[in-house]
């Protein structure tokens, strides 16, 4: 048996990191952050507790990695050409992608929204999270201002609150929430009328 190449080691590392994050996401979402120990996560991921620390320094770092990965993934759909200027087509595209992402990642968003209302846990990553969202809010404000909305700041908060509210309500009851109809309603609200 020949020794592993650096590429093989990197692939193993990525696979294990992904597995740990997947297991932790499920445990954090279903059992709670404080109830999910590193030992429990390691056991369910099929690795030793000691090895866990080769991947994440702490449970807090693991939680941050999960949350930031999800936020970054969603933000890639916002202003996709990264020119700092949002078009109506880009806004509609973002709304559609946000709905698609929430449908596909219910467990992640169940965790995300539960953390947003747990002040002690939110404090672990609040400043970093808001720094990630700052360009989003700035670009949205400029879009609504350019489009002539009476109060662009209020529109930003309405837009964000509406999407968060939809997400939170959907993940609490995905079987009964009329997500398609709600998506169409929001797209209609923000589509330019010819």
CA distance 126 to 162: 20
Do 76 and 44 reside in the same domain of the chain? no
93 and 17 together in one domain? no
Please write the tens of the pLDDT for every residue from 72-128.
999 999 988 889 899 999 999 999 999 999 999 999 999 999 888 888 888 888 899
Both 173 and 80 in one domain: the answer is: yes
Contacts of 187 (CB under 8 A, 6+ apart): 92, 95, 96
The answer on 151 and 108 residing in a single domain is: yes
Indicate whether 14 and 81 sit together in one domain: no
Residues 52 and 69 in one domain: no
Q: CATH number, domain at 130?
A: 1.10.357
| Predicted model pTM | 0.85
- The residue range of the domain holding 30 is 1-56
Check residue 178 and give its pLDDT: 97
What's the total number of domains in the chain?
2
Contact indicator for 124, 60 with CB cutoff of 8 Å: yes
Q: Write down the residue that tokens 């390691």 correspond to.
A: 42
Instruction: Note the pLDDT tens digit of each residue in 31-71.
Output: 988 899 999 999 999 999 999 899 999 999 999 999 999 99
CA 146 remoteness from chain centre: 27
Domain stop point among 22, 37, 56: 56
């Amino acid at each position: 048996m020949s020794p592993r190449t650096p590429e093989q080691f990197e692939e193993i590392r990525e696979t294990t990191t992904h597995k740990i994050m997947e297991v932790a996401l499920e445990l954090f979402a279903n059992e709670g952050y404080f109830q999910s120990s590193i030992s429990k996560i390691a056991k369910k991921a099929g690795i030793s507790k000691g090895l866990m620390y080769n991947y994440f320094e702490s449970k807090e770092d693991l939680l941050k990695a999960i949350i930031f990965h999800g936020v970054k993934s969603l933000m890639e759909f916002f202003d996709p050409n990264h020119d700092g200027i949002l078009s109506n087509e880009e806004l509609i595209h973002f709304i559609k992608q946000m709905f698609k992402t929430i449908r596909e990642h219910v467990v992640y968003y169940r965790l995300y929204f539960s953390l947003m209302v747990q002040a002690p846990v939110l404090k672990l990553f609040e400043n970093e999270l808001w720094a990630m969202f700052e360009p989003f809010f700035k670009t949205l404000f400029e879009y609504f201002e350019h489009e002539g909305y009476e109060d662009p700041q209020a529109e930003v908060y309405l837009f964000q609150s509406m999407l968060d509210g939809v997400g939170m309500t959907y993940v609490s009851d995905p079987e009964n929430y009329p997500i398609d109809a709600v998506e169409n309603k929001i797209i209609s609200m923000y589509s330019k009328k010819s």
